[in-house]
Structure formats: C-alpha cells, structure tokens
C-alpha cells in the first residue's frame, strides 16, 4: 500500500514536470510505445508510420516485444515514473482506464466531437476509450481471441472438415499427430496460455459462465466444476503440443501452421497478419474458424492509442494528427486488412476484407446484437491488470504441470481474491 502510494506520488510529480516532445528542430513528431514486433505487426505499423509521414509527422519507435503488452506496460510505468512518457502508447482495455484515472492521459474530446466518434465507435469499445465521459484513447481495431487457424493442405490430406464441436477438434488433432504432424502449434508464454484459456472457459460454460468468472470474478464460478473442466481441456491441448513449445513466440507458432508442420493454432486474429505477410490467402492455404464450443460468441480486444499529456503545442498537434489518422475510415481499412483485425468503426464496408475479415466483421456485429460479445481476459478487457496477471500465473503454472485441474481452479479462487 505504502509503496503504491509512493509510486503514485512519483508519477504525479513526473507528470507535472513533463516537457513536450516536439523534436529538437521543432518539427512535429510522435514517440510511439508499442509491442508490434512480428513481421505482420510491423507491416501494419508501417501503414500508420507512412500515413503520418505523409502528413509531415515524424516517428520515433519504442518497441517492447511481448504479446498482450505486459512487458510494454512495465516499460511505460518506468518511463512515466522517470518523467519521460512517450507521446502515444498502444494500450488495451482496463490499462487505459487505470492511466486515465491517474490523470495521465490527454483529452481527445474536441477531436472526437468534430469527427463524431460517439456515433461510429462501437459501444463495447467506448467503455475503454472514454473515462468519466472524456475520450482518452483512439481505437485502431477490434481483434478477437477465439479463433482457430488451420493448414488447408493438412486438412485435405487427412480428409478432414473444419471440426463442428470439441470432440471433432480433438479427433482432428489426433489424426494430424498420428500422421506425423504437430496437432497444435503453441508458444509456452503466459499470455499465449491465457489466450487459449479465454476460449476454453467460453467453450465449456458459455457467456454466463464467462461473465461470472472473468468479469464478475465470482468465486463460485472461479472454483466451479466448469472451471475444472476448462483446465482439463487445457490438459487435452497440452497433449497435442510439441516438445519445444516452451517460450516460443506466437508468430513462430503461426509459421508452423503456415509451413505445414502443424495443423492448428488457437490465437487471436493478429495471427492472420502473419499468414498474409507470408504471402498466403484466407480460404486457400489457411483457414479460420471459431474455437469449437465458442460459436456465436466473440472474445474481443481493441488496440487503442492513448496520448499522454504534453505541454508543448507542436507535440500536442502531432498527437491529434495521429489520433485523427487512426480514426479515419480509409486508415481503418488500410491498417486492419494488413493487421488481421477488423475496424473499430461500425460504418465501414467489408468489401476490402478477405474471407476471415468478412467473417470476423459479421460475427462481431452478430455477437454484439445477441449479447455474445465479451472482453478478452487474456488481453486486458475483462478485469484489471492485477487480476489478469494473477490469472496468468495460475493458468500457466497449470499448463506446465504444476497443478492438476482441481488444484488450478482452487488456486484461481485464491489468486483472484488476493489480487483485488
């Protein structure tokens, strides 16, 4: 508690003495902290860099690798505490709310009013982009985590269709393994284990259970027989992962599907960015479908750019140019067709999107209309970062064999209680 207060005081001081971030020669520029370091992510980021470049806004890159952004958020905290925050930061869900609550984020209301963001940004996203009625972040996309990425050639060779249910999914991985392939490409990193777990919880218990466990943090749901079953499904998946999974980056797991080493990967649709970057086409070399059991639901996350408060007018102008670009309909198409995500606006045609993008857009709208749209726990949209990290620890310890499924569910109850 004490050290927490100390940190908060340090941050308040740091924010109050903070200078602007116009470049030394007075030209407008932004310093962007992000975790888009894979091939597909870098290609998407380039769309933004070039857009800003075309408007005379320079770019200072501050990449911090690590999906889910935990490491990026640690670096951000250190930068702010040192009185040197980046101008623009890629952020997810509850982290945006935390920083807004600390008074660190710039007010985007004038720009939002001018460009009518209230009307075009989906309601589910506004809960994170606005704090106390004030716009504090510009959403660049909507990703979702309950996808399977499949190698078409292996499916065809084994005479398999896209599986219709969990048993079919397991049978397909078994057939692939029997034929000498890897059933499931996976990287053993806590955030990847958690990404898969989003779908196991939704698949076992459906929307009510997901809501109770991950959003309401109901101890009964967290320790329930359904949670035990979700952990048991993780054990089943573990049986189809190769021996070298530990520490593997997610994009290398995507490459295993793209290269024909592995049949499936369960991953958010940023994986599509990797397939595209490798020259592949949705519906041809690779396929996408919802994790069996989660059909009709979407567990989403939205990358947003939060702007830190700056005093320098040139720097503030650059931030507003960036926020404006991010929200423009043309940019949302250009960026998201490369990134694998779908637009963070409801008024964009799906014509420029590939088969998976069109499916993603339609399913997002359906899920929003039917009450099947939920924030991803793994990607900071279901609960605050301390609860999220507590969940990560249990999920990853279980996946690595430290706990059986019953113990893991019990540990989840305790870890969540302590983290609140």
Q: Which residues of this protein are in contact with ligand GAL, per CB under 6 A? A: 35-36, 41, 67-69, 92, 143, 270, 301, 303, 379
Nearest to ligand GAL of 268, 292 (CB atom):
268
Q: How far apart are CA 273 and CA 175, in angstroms?
A: 27
Count Cβ neighbours within 10 Å for each residue of 314-342 and write b for 16 or more, e otherwise: bbbebbbbbbbbbbeeebbbbbbbbbbbb
Q: How far apart are CA 372 and CA 307, in angstroms?
A: 31
Rg of the chain on CA atoms, in Å: 21
Q: Give the orientation angle of helix 405-419 with respect to helix 225-238, to 10 degrees.
A: 120
The residues pairing with 266 across neighbouring beta strands, listed in sequence order, are 148
* Cβ 400 to ligand GAL shortest distance, Å: 21
Q: How far apart are CA 191 and CA 197, in angstroms?
A: 10
* Cβ 98 to ligand GAL shortest distance, Å: 16
Q: Dump strand ranges (E) for 54-212.
A: 58-63, 88-92, 130-131, 134-135, 137-139, 143-144, 147-151, 182-184
Rounded to a whole number, what is the distance in angstroms from the first to the last CA of the chain? 13
* Cβ 22 to ligand GAL shortest distance, Å: 28
**Helices in 18-146 by DSSP H: which ranges?**
39-54, 70-81, 93-101, 109-114, 117-120, 123-129
Nearest to ligand GAL of 69, 163 (CB atom):
69
Nearest to ligand GAL of 237, 378 (CB atom):
378
Q: Tell me the residue number closest to ligand GAL, measured at CB.
A: 67
Secondary structure (3-state) at 275: helix
* Cβ 67 to ligand GAL shortest distance, Å: 3
- Residue 237: name the closest of 98, 405, 19 by CA: 405
* Cβ 365 to ligand GAL shortest distance, Å: 20
Specify the DSSP class assigned to residue 108. -
* Cβ 332 to ligand GAL shortest distance, Å: 14
Nearest to ligand GAL of 192, 224 (CB atom):
192
Nearest to ligand GAL of 277, 301 (CB atom):
301
- Residue 174: name the closest of 193, 150, 158 by CA: 158
Nearest to ligand GAL of 143, 186 (CB atom):
143
Q: What φ, ψ does residue 397 adopt, rounded to 5°?
A: -65, -40
* Cβ 135 to ligand GAL shortest distance, Å: 20
The residues pairing with 288 across neighbouring beta strands, listed in sequence order, are 149
Report whether 48 contacts 326 (CB < 8 A): yes
Nearest to ligand GAL of 130, 381 (CB atom):
381
Instruction: Give the number of other Cβ atoms within 10 Å of residue 23's Cβ.
Output: 15
Nearest to ligand GAL of 143, 345 (CB atom):
143
* Cβ 230 to ligand GAL shortest distance, Å: 21
Nearest to ligand GAL of 293, 375 (CB atom):
375
Q: What φ, ψ does residue 57 adopt, rounded to 5°?
A: -105, 120
* Cβ 68 to ligand GAL shortest distance, Å: 5
């Amino acid at each position: 508690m004490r050290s927490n207060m100390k940190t908060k005081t340090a941050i308040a001081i740091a924010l109050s003495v903070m200078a602007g971030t116009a470049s030394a020669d007075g030209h407008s520029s932004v310093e962007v902290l992000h975790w888009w370091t894979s091939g597909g992510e870098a290609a998407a980021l380039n769309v933004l860099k070039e857009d800003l470049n075309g408007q005379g806004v320079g770019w200072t890159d501050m990449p911090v690798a690590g999906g889910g952004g935990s490491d990026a958020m640690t670096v951000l905290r250190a930068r702010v505490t040192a009185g040197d925050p980046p101008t623009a930061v890629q952020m997810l869900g509850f982290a945006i709310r935390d920083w807004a609550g600390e008074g660190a984020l710039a007010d985007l209301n004038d720009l939002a009013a001018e460009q009518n963001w209230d009307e075009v940004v989906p309601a589910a996203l506004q809960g994170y982009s606005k704090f106390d009625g004030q716009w504090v972040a510009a959403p660049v996309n909507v990703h979702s985590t309950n996808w399977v990425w499949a190698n078409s050639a292996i499916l065809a060779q084994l005479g398999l269709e896209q599986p219709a249910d969990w048993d079919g999914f397991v049978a397909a991985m078994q057939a692939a393994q029997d034929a000498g392939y890897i059933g499931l490409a996976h990287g053993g990193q806590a955030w990847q284990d958690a990404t898969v777990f989003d779908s196991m919880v939704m698949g076992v218990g459906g929307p009510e259970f997901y809501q109770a466990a991950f959003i309401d943090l109901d101890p009964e749901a967290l320790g329930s027989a359904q949670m035990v079953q979700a952990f048991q499904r993780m054990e089943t998946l573990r049986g189809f992962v190769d021996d070298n999974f530990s520490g593997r980056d997610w994009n290398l797991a995507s490459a295993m599907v793209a290269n024909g080493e592995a049949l499936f990967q369960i991953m958010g649709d940023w994986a599509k960015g990797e397939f595209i970057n490798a020259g592949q086409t949705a519906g041809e070399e690779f396929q996408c479908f919802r994790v069996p059991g989660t059909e009709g639901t979407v567990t989403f996350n939205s990358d947003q750019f939060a702007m830190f408060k700056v005093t320098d007018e040139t720097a503030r102008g650059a931030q507003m140019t960036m926020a404006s670009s991010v929200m423009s309909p043309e940019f949302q198409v250009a960026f998201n067709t490369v990134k694998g995500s779908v637009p963070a606006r409801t008024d964009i045609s799906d014509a420029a999107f590939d088969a998976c993008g069109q499916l993603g857009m339609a399913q997002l709208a359906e899920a929003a209309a039917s009450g099947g749209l939920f924030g991803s726990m793994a990607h900071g949209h279901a609960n605050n970062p301390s609860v999220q990290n507590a969940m990560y620890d249990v999920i990853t310890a279980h996946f690595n064999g430290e706990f059986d499924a019953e113990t893991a569910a019990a540990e989840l109850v305790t870890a969540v209680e302590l983290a609140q």
